Structure formats: C-alpha cells, structure tokens
Amino acid sequence: MISLRHVSYSFGTQWALKNISLEVRKGDFLFLVGPSGAGKTTLLRLLHGAIPLKRGQGSVAGFDLHALKARRIHLLRREVSVVFQDFKILPERTVFANVALALEVRNMPRTHTERRVRAVLRGLDLENKMHVPCAQLSGGEQQRVAIARAVVVGPQLLLADEPTGNLDRELAMRLMSIFLQFHAHGTTIVLATHNQEILACVPDAKILHLEDGAVNWTNWDMDAPT
C-alpha cells in the first residue's frame, strides 16, 4: 500500500524528512508519533500528493509518487482520503452537502449517498446537525465533518493528522471506533497522534516515531533502514 525508500524533503534549507524508508501493507494500522515539528504532517502531505516527491522513491496505492503528474493526482485521491488539521470544509454548505460531495464526485446514486452519509453522521454524533451550514458549527463539530467526509467513501488508505486533537474523550473514543470499523473491513490507516490513550485503542498497531525528520522504529517487522 505504501513503500518509501530513502525519502527526504526540505523547505529551503530546513529538512523536514531525512532518509525515510518504510513499508505499509494493505490492512495495516500505523501510528505516526513524535513531537511537533518532527515531520508527521509533511509525511502525510507527501503520501497524499500535496507536495511532490523529489528525493528518494515512493509509491502509494499503486501510484509512483516520483512520476505522478499533477493531472493524475485526483486519481490517487480516489484511493486515499485524508483528514486535514485545518478541516478544508465548505463553510457555506450544510453538513450533509459537505460529506455527500465526496460521494457525488464518484457518481454514487443519490439513495446510496444519503444512506451512507446518514450512517457516518450518526456514528460521529452529527445527525442532528445534518442541515446546518458548517459555518455555524463549533471547531470540534467542523473537525468531525471533515472526518465524516474522509471515511464515507470507504478509501483504500486513510490518512489522519491529529484527528482527535479538538475532541473530548467520549467523541475521540467514538471516532476511533469508526476508524477501527473501517480498518476491520480492510482500510489501511495511517494516523498521527500525540495521545497515548489513542495508541492504546489499537494495541497491535505499528508505531513509527519521527524525531527531527528521521525515523525511530517501534513494533516494526522490517529491518530499520540504515
């Protein structure tokens, strides 16, 4: 599902990723952990095609990141969903419209779209906000809308950047339950978090520690890169 070999990335003279190599198989659950500025968000952006791969080799969901042209990034994103830290929702549209959009661009029939959107909103305690414009929601509610939009399509790979950061414990645990349901059906998940309680929700998950853009390995089944 994900293969990176000796990947590095810099912003000017500042190295955000340094010689990263990893393998994530289909159906894996991987946590990215590490302090702020460790490179977690940069790595997720690279896996989603938001920034180009310039140093090293990498593939995601069958797409060669080094050879990926801008006009084909939308094809990668049909297989890879991402929960952004800044939500990227459409504030003037309702909760339902924001989540349904992810299915409508895939030409899913309206009846199927409504059933799937309702089920995901119910799981995230948003069903009573279905027809409310997102501009009227709290920050935590907007974050849940972003999560609903990402999971409703049933992606092969789900990337999540601190998805429980603005949620209370009850909603955070409910969110993890939804992630685990998708994982049980074969979705590969890469989730960045600082929360030790979230890590405990998936005791058999792989954990990738990033520090200053480099890798420390925990619970990993391949030799640490040299």
Give the pLDDT confidence of 76-89 residue by residue, as tens digits. 988 999 987 777 89
SS3 content of the chain, % helix, strand, coil (to 5): 35, 25, 35
Distance of CA 121 to the CA centre of its chain: 18
Whether this model's pTM surpasses 0.95: no
Confidence of residue 140 (pLDDT cuts 50, 70, 90): confident
- Average pLDDT over all residues of the chain: 89
Phi and psi (nearest 5°) for 27?
90, -5
Question: What pLDDT is attached to residue 222?
Answer: 41
Residues 6+ apart with CB under 8 A from 144: 124, 125, 126, 167, 171, 175
221: pLDDT strictly greater than 50: no
What one-character DSSP code corresponds to residue 68? -
Confidence of residue 226 (pLDDT cuts 50, 70, 90): very low
**CA dist 152 to 27, 40, 48, 130, Å?**
17, 24, 17, 14
Give the pLDDT confidence of 16-59 residue by residue, as tens digits. 999 999 999 999 999 999 988 899 999 999 999 999 998 999 99
**CA dist 221 to 12, 17, 96, 195, 226, Å?**
34, 21, 41, 23, 15
Question: What pLDDT is attached to residue 220?
Answer: 46
Question: What pLDDT is attached to residue 195?
Answer: 85
Region 66-75: mean pLDDT is 90
Question: What pLDDT is attached to residue 217?
Answer: 60
Question: What pLDDT is attached to residue 97?
Answer: 96
Question: What pLDDT is attached to residue 103?
Answer: 93
Domains and CATH numbers, the chain: 2-88+156-218 (3.40.50.300)
**Cβ atoms < 10 Å from Cβ of 199:** 15
